[in-house]
A and B are shown apart, each in its own frame.
Chain A
């Protein structure tokens, strides 16, 4: 069975600064996806970034980037130039590459961006 662990229940950062959210996972699969999803207060959860396990290059999406360490089973999210709109719950998630699209989530990290 796969598990996803987020050890930081809450984080805070000042506007324009950089913050890193941690995630570790456990799996015996070799081919899988890792995701970071963002859930703003009272709004829909949306995809932030995705990493394919077979790709060594870390994924980036504008101000969001990941540090994917496959051997260590670590998948952290770095948010650069933090904005007030980044305030949200962030969930790390695992998906087997089996066309089921079933996600296994971590417990989430609540990020507060301060002015």
Chain B
């Protein structure tokens, strides 16, 4: 089992609310990622980080923001949620600890967000 955790697993909120999706890993991995996954679609990278105080935007444009103040923690925030933000958000990390193979990513269980 991967030591990477996401909360909440499910969230239903109204338009205009601010939300934060939490992601924590206990493996000491430097690299962390947020992917957005719509039903029946591929995962798209929206944010990544290579270490503390490092954040970059991914290939898919997103209105969300991220921060990396601690190695183990990589939260994603939406300041004002809209129905178009309805999706599943997957957090992942990579590093030497726990990896069987170079480049192996460890994923959380995902946060399924529904914005009404």
Contacts and interface: CB of A to CB of B under 8 A. Distances in A.
A107 B42 contact: yes
Interface string A29-57: 00001010100001111110010000000
Interface in A68-98: 91, 95
A50 B43 contact: no
Given A4-B42, A47-B100, A91-B43, A103 B2 contact: no
Contact of A103 (B4, B100, B102, B105): B105
A91 B97 CA distance: 23
Interface residues of A, number: 23
Contact of A102 (B4, B33, B109): B33
Q: How large is the interface on B (under 10, 10 to 19, 20 to 34, 35 or more residues)?
A: 20 to 34
Contacts of A44: 1-2, 4, 106-109
B79 interface: no
Given A33-B103, A101-B94, A46 B2 contact: yes
B51 to A, nearest CB: 13
B107 A45 contact: yes
B12 interface: no
A35 B43 CA distance: 14
A23 to B, nearest CB: 12
Nearest to A95: B103
B71 to A, nearest CB: 15
Given A44-B2, A101-B33, A107-B40, 4 more contacts: A33-B103, A46-B107, A50-B104, A101-B94
24 contacts: A4-B42, A9-B40, A33-B103, A37-B105, A42-B109, A43-B109, A44-B108, A45-B92, A47-B105, A50-B101, A91-B42, A91-B43, A100-B31, A101-B103, A102-B58, A104-B45, A104-B59, A105-B35, A105-B42, A106-B42, A107-B41, A107-B42, A108-B40, A108-B42
Interface of B: 1-2, 4, 31, 33, 35, 40-45, 48, 50, 58-59, 90, 92, 94, 100-109
